[in-house]
Amino acid sequence: MTIETPGIHHVTAIAGDPQTNVDFYTDALGLRLVKRTVNFDDPTTYHLYYGDEVGRPGTILTFFPFEGARPGRAGTGQARTVAFLVPPSSLDYWIDRFDERGVEHEDPASRFDERAVAFRDPDGLRLELVAHSAADAVEPWADGPVPAEHAVRGFFGVSLSLADGGPTADLLRAMGFESVGEEGGRARYRATDAAGVDAADGGTVDDGAADGDRAAVPGTVVDLAVDPDAPRGRVGVDAVHHVAFRAPDDETQLAWREELTDRGLGVTPVRDRQYFRSIYFREPGGVLFEIATDPPGFALDEEVEALGADLKLPPWLEDDRERLEARLPPIEAPTGGRAATDGGEVASADSGDPADPTDPVDPGGTEGGDADE
C-alpha cells in the first residue's frame, strides 16, 4: 500500500542560545518567527518555529534551544543537511548578504540541475541554499526583511546520512517518493504528490508546472548519502532532531500509522502538538521521522499579524505559565518584516533566570518520544 505524502512538513533541530538562534534565522535568513512556545515534553525549554508569513507546511524549521548543551556528532542515522529553496538569480544576493553579516559559506557548487551554497548556522547546523526555477512558483513573504524577489521559498529538501540506503529507499517509495537519479554520492528521491496540493495549504505547484520544477517545490526532495564506514551520529547542539512529513488530515495520518505498524516499525500514538498532530517512528536507517497533519496551523491562537509575538502555551500548561516564564530566558524578535528590521517594533518575552540546560542527547527525550514505545 502506498499513501503518498506531498513532502516535508517541518524539520526540527537542536540549538544552543535561543537569542542567537532567533537573530540568525530572522535576520540573516529572513525567516519569520511564527511561533514561540515550549517543548511540550520538557516545557522549561523553548520550541521556536520559523517559516514563511503564516508558517505553511514545507517552510517550517523549528528548534529546541538547550543553552550550554554539548554538540552533536555527525554520522549515520541522522539528517545531515537542511536545504532551502531560493530563485535561480538570487545566489549572488545571498552571498553578499552572508558576507555582510559574517556568515561563513562555501562557494556555489553544481549538482543535478541546481546550484547550491553550503553554510552553517551559529551552532554549526549544516544548511544550504539551493537555487532552482521551482522557486518562481512559490509565493514569498512579501513583507519580510529580505526583498521578495530573493526571499527563501521554504525547503528544497533534506539530506540523510545512512550506513545502508536500501531499506530507507524502500520506505520512501512506499511514502510516494520516486527515484530521480544519483550524483556526487547522493541518491535523490522526490515526492510525487506535490502537484495535488493546494497553494493555500502549503503547496505551490500548479498542474501546468514543469516536471523538473515539481521535484523541488517546497520540501519534496530527500537525498540519501550512504557511507557504511561512517560513525553513528549523535543528537546534540548543531544536529537535526527529526524530519516531519505531511499528512493532509487526521484520517490520512491514522492510515499512515497502520501502514507503518504493518511494516514492522514502532510508531508512537498520535500526539497533540497544538498546531498539528504527530506520530513518530525511526525509519530503517535510524533517522527519526514524524508524520504531521497540515491543520490546524499556527493562526490557531494568534492573528497572522501577531504570529510569534508572545509566548503561547497549550491549555494543559496555562496554569503553570508563571513558573515556566520564570525559567525561560528572555528573547527578543521582530514582530514584523522589513519595517521591523529597519527600526520597527521588537517583541520581548520577559522572564527570569534561564533554566539549567537539558541534555538533548537522547532524541526520544525531546518532543518525539522513543519510537519503540
What is the rounded average pLDDT of the residues 205-218?
Answer: 41
Question: What is the pLDDT at residue 354?
Answer: 30
Interior CA angle at 149 toward 337 and 334, to 5°? 10
Predicted local distance difference test score (pLDDT) of residue 334:
82
Q: What is the pLDDT of residue 217?
A: 54
pLDDT the model gives residue 52:
96
> What pLDDT shows up at residue 196?
45
The kind and range of the H/E element at 177 are strand 177-183
pLDDT digits (tens, 9 = 90+) for 183-193: 988 999 999 87
Give the model's pLDDT for residue 26. Answer: 97
Has residue 364 got a pLDDT over 90?
A: no
Backbone torsion region of residue 361, taken as left when φ is above 0, otherwise alpha when ψ lies between -120 and 50, otherwise beta: alpha
Q: What is the mean pLDDT of the chain?
A: 86
- Give the pLDDT mean for 350-359: 32
> pLDDT category, 194, cuts 50, 70, 90?
low
Domains of the chain in sequence order? 8-349 (3.10.180.10)
Other Cβ atoms within 10 Å of 152 Cβ, number: 29
pLDDT of residue 245: 98
- Residue 214 — φ and ψ, nearest 5°? -55, -30
* Per-residue pLDDT, 3: 82
For residue range 237-254, what is the model confidence (pLDDT) as tens digits?
Answer: 999 999 999 999 999 999
